[in-house]
Chains A and B, each alone.
Chain A
């Protein structure tokens, strides 16, 4: 049972490049979400999904796109990378009901030059 798997673990991009951060879970969780974590700060919600075909914006959605075509996968796309998007990105999954513990991946460390 792999839990939540994020790829890649590290990535360096140039300003203006696009890329997709991958997230997959094998726990049949309906709810999946993306967070970013910046130095000295807690995690901030970028986008989330309550099931296949349903996505919504979180606190800091600008510059990011998501889609949810399957229950297992929830990719995060950076459309045109900017230095302000340098961060550590975490994907999480859980059952949808409020109060369900979220399971996190080990993150993707992204640097934008």
Chain B
């Protein structure tokens, strides 16, 4: 991955509001995309994934949108809660390379009560 320096983008939202976290991916051949959540002192935790033949997938309170034209991925969190505060990473993979993942730099989500 490329370095984006020491300062991650930060998104601050009010508890109960919806959050949208964005990610630009690099490889137009990537066919699998994943969002991970990382809490302080923990390893990344799988949230939701989407394959390149889809443009939207919904989970519990989360929705992932994929725009292959502009190589953009977004994670929407409905009714954001304090427990959603974490760093969120998108990752991409190309199935010909097996399960190797390339991670983005991450976005900090801060939820204000």
- Footprint of B on A, CB under 8 Å? 4, 31, 33, 35, 39-45, 48, 50, 58-59, 90, 92, 94-107
For the complex, would chain B's binding face be called helix, strand, loop or mixed by DSSP majority?
loop
CA of A92 to CA of B41 in the docked complex: distance in angstroms? 16
Are the C-beta atoms of B101 and A40 separated by less than 8 Å? no
12 contacts between A and B (CB under 8 A): A31-B98, A41-B1, A41-B105, A42-B106, A95-B99, A96-B99, A98-B32, A98-B95, A99-B93, A99-B99, A102-B99, A106-B42
Residues on A with beta carbons closer than 8 Å to the beta carbon of B70: none
Are the C-beta atoms of A103 and B1 separated by less than 8 Å? no
Are the C-beta atoms of B42 and A96 separated by less than 8 Å? no
* Contacts A43-B89, A97-B98 known; 11 new A-B pairs at CB < 8 A: A31-B99, A39-B6, A41-B1, A41-B106, A42-B89, A42-B105, A90-B43, A98-B32, A99-B32, A100-B99, A107-B42
Residues on A with beta carbons closer than 8 Å to the beta carbon of B89: 42-43
Q: Which residue of B lies closest to A94 (CB)?
A: B99
Residues on A with beta carbons closer than 8 Å to the beta carbon of B31: 98
Partner of A99, one of B42, B44, B95, B105: B95
CA of A59 to CA of B103 in the docked complex: distance in angstroms? 11
Q: B77 CB to closest chain A CB, in angstroms?
A: 18
Are the C-beta atoms of B99 and A98 separated by less than 8 Å? yes
- Footprint of A on B, CB under 8 Å? 1, 3-8, 31-32, 34, 41-46, 49, 51, 89, 91, 93-106
Residue picked from B3, B91, B99, B102, most chain A C-beta under 10 Å: B99
Q: A5 CB to closest chain B CB, in angstroms?
A: 11
Residues on A with beta carbons closer than 8 Å to the beta carbon of B103: 35, 42-44
